[in-house]
Amino acid sequence: MSSVATPGPKLELAPYKSLSNEELAARIQKVRDHFGSELLILGHHYQQDEVIEFSDLRGDSLQLSQMAADSRDCRYIIFCGVHFMAETADMLANRPEALEDRKGERVTVVLPDMAAGCSMADMAAIEQVEAAWEDLGEYIDTNDITPVTYINSAASLKAFCGKHGGIVCTSTNAPAVIEWAFKKTSRVLFFPDQHLGRNTALKMGITNDQMPVWDPYAEECGGTSEEAIKNSKVVLWNGHCSVHQMFKAEHVHKFRKDIPDIKILVHPECPQEVNDIADLSGSTGFILKTIQSAEPGSKWAIGTELHMVNRLKKEHPEQEIHFLSPVVCMCATMYRIDLAHLCWSLENLAEGHVVNQVAVDEEVSKWSLIALKRMLEVV
Ligand code: 13P
Ligand code: SF4
C-alpha cells in the first residue's frame, strides 16, 4: 500500500485519551494494515505490554539501532522508546549510504510522545561536555583521551565523540568499546552514566582510584583534583539512571537470605554495590536471553525496569521471577508512550501529517554517524 493520499485534517490528541484500549488497538491495526511494510514500529523492552504488542520488532538499544540501520522497505519508523533512541534511528536510517540505496528517499522517524526523554541523557549537555574537555586540557593532554558516550545521550554528544576520535557504546558492547578506546589512548572520558562506565572498567582491572567522577556543576576541576585527573584511566561523568540507582545491595542480601538458590540478574546501570555482588549483569537483551535459556524452575531476582520484569514473569511462568527492589522502579518517560499517543501519531500519518518527527540536524548527524559507525564496527 502506498503511503498517503491528499492530507486530511490534522488530528488533535485529546479525544484519543478517552478511547478504550480495545478501540485504540483496532484503529492502530487498521493503520498498520494500510501502510504494510512501509511502516516499522520499534519497541524497547521497557515499554508497557499494550504497546509492545504492536511492535514489529523489539529489542535493547543496540538491537534497535541495528534494526533502524538495516531497515530497507520502510519509510516510517514509529519509535516506541525514548528520544535518544529515535534520534539514533533517524541518523542510521538516513545515513548517506542508506539514502543512496533508497534514491534519496528519507525515512521519517516519529516519537509518539515528545516528552519521552531519558533523565540520564539529560544529565550531560553538550556545553557541559565541551567545557569539561577544555578544563581537562589544563591538566592532561586531551589528544590522549578517547571520549566515549553511552548511547543514552543527545545526538550532539555523539557528534562530539565523532569529532574528537571517540565512539558510542551501549550496555551490550561497553567492554569491547572501552577496550577499543584503550588501544588508541591511555585515558577515556565516559559519559553520561558513571555506573555503566565504572562497572565496565572495574571488570577490566581498572580501580576506583583511577576513576575520578567529573561533576559538571562543580566550581573547579569537576569537583575532583588535579592529581586525581593526572592519575586517571577513566574519567566518569556524574550522571546516573534514576530508575536503576534505586536497586540496593540490601535487596540482594535479602533475596539471598530468603531464597538461598536464587540468582541475581541486573542491568549494568545499577550502582557498583549491586553490580559487584550480582550473579549476572548485562543489557536488557542479555537479561531476556538469560531468562529464555534458563533451566525451568530456576529462581531469579531481576534488577531492571519494572515493565520488562513483569513481562518476563508473564512470558516465563516456568521460571520463578522476582523484582529485585521492594519499591516500584519504572521508567516514567518510557511509560509516556501509550496506545493513545501511538494511535494519534499513526492516524495523523495516515492523514498525511507527520506529528512528533525526530530529525537530527545534518551537521550533528554527520559527526554522530562517525562515532556510531565506529561502534557498529566494533561489535
Ligand atoms: P539497553 O541498551 O540494555 O536496552 O538499555 C537501555 C536503557 O535505557 C536502560 O536503562
Ligand atoms: Fe533513561 Fe533510565 Fe529510563 Fe533507561 S531506564 S531510558 S537510562 S531513565
Is 178 in the same domain as 129?
yes
Segment 317-329 mean pLDDT: 96
Decide: helix, strand or coil at residue 180. Answer: helix
- Kindly tell me if the per-residue pLDDT of 204 is higher than 80: yes
Residue 50: predicted pLDDT = 97
How many angstroms separate the CA atoms of 43 and 52, rounded?
6
Burial 59-77 (b: 16+ CB within 10 A, else e): bbbbbbbebbbebeebbbb
Nearest in space to 112 (alpha carbons), one of 287, 333, 363, 360: 333
CA 225 centroid distance within chain: 31
φ and ψ at 337, to 5 degrees? -80, 110
pLDDT at 57: 95
**Cα of 44 to ligand 1 centre, how many Å?**
8
Residue range 310-314: mean pLDDT, rounded: 98
238 and 125 part of one domain: yes
Shared domain for 137 and 238, answered yes or no, is yes
Residue 305 CA to ligand 2 centre (angstroms): 8
| Cα(33) to centroid(ligand 2), Å | 32
Residue 138 burial (C-beta neighbours within 10 Å; 0-12, 13-18, 19+): exposed
Please report where in the chains the cell 484519543 appears, as a residue.
16
* pLDDT, mean of residues 191-217: 98
- Percent of the chain at pLDDT > 70 equals 98
CA-closest candidate to residue 197, choices 188, 184, 205: 188
Shortest-distance atom of ligand 1 to CA 284: 3
Per-residue pLDDT, 147: 98
CATH number, domain at 287? 3.40.50.10800
Q: Which residue has the cell 528519507?
A: 106
The parent domain of residue 286 ranges over: 244-323
d(CA 51, CA 120): 23
**Claim to verify: residue 253 and residue 222 sit in the same structural domain:** no
**Structure-block grid coordinates of residue 359:** 530529525
Q: Hey, which of 113, 305, 306 would you mutate to test ligand 2's pocket, going by the most ligand atoms within 8 Å of its Cβ?
A: 305
Which residues are registered as beta bridge partners of 339? none
For residue 156, the domain's CATH number is 3.40.50
**Which of 374, 366, 373, 376 is closest to 155 using CA atoms?**
366
Question: How many structural domains does the chain have?
Answer: 3
| Ligand 2 atom closest to the CA of 305, numbered from 1 | 5
Residue 237 and residue 125 in one domain: yes
CA-CA distance, 313 to 318, in Å (whole number)?
A: 9
pLDDT at 5: 55
**Ligand 1 atom having least distance to the Cα of 118:** 8
Q: Does residue 303 carry a pLDDT above 70?
A: yes
Cα(150) to centroid(ligand 1), Å:
10
Residues at CB less than 6 angstroms from ligand 1: 45, 60-61, 152, 170-171, 241, 267, 269, 283-284
Q: What is the pLDDT of residues 7-60, one digit of tens each?
A: 778 999 999 999 999 999 999 999 999 999 999 999 999 999 999 999 999 999
Model-level pTM?
0.96
Q: Is 189 in the pocket of ligand 2 (CB under 6 A)?
A: no
What rounded mean pLDDT belongs to the chain? 96
Of 242, 270, 301, which residue is a domain's last? Answer: 242
- Which pLDDT belongs to residue 4? 53
Share of residues in the chain with pLDDT > 90 (%)? 95
Q: How confident is the model at residue 72 (pLDDT cuts 50, 70, 90)?
A: confident
pLDDT tens-digit map of 346-357 = 999 999 999 999
List, in order, residues 6 or more apart from 78 with CB less than 8 Å away: 39, 40, 41, 42, 110, 112, 342, 345, 346, 349
Q: Is residue 352 part of a domain?
A: yes
Q: Is the pLDDT of residue 1 over 90?
A: no
Ligand 2 centroid–CA 43 distance in Å is 14
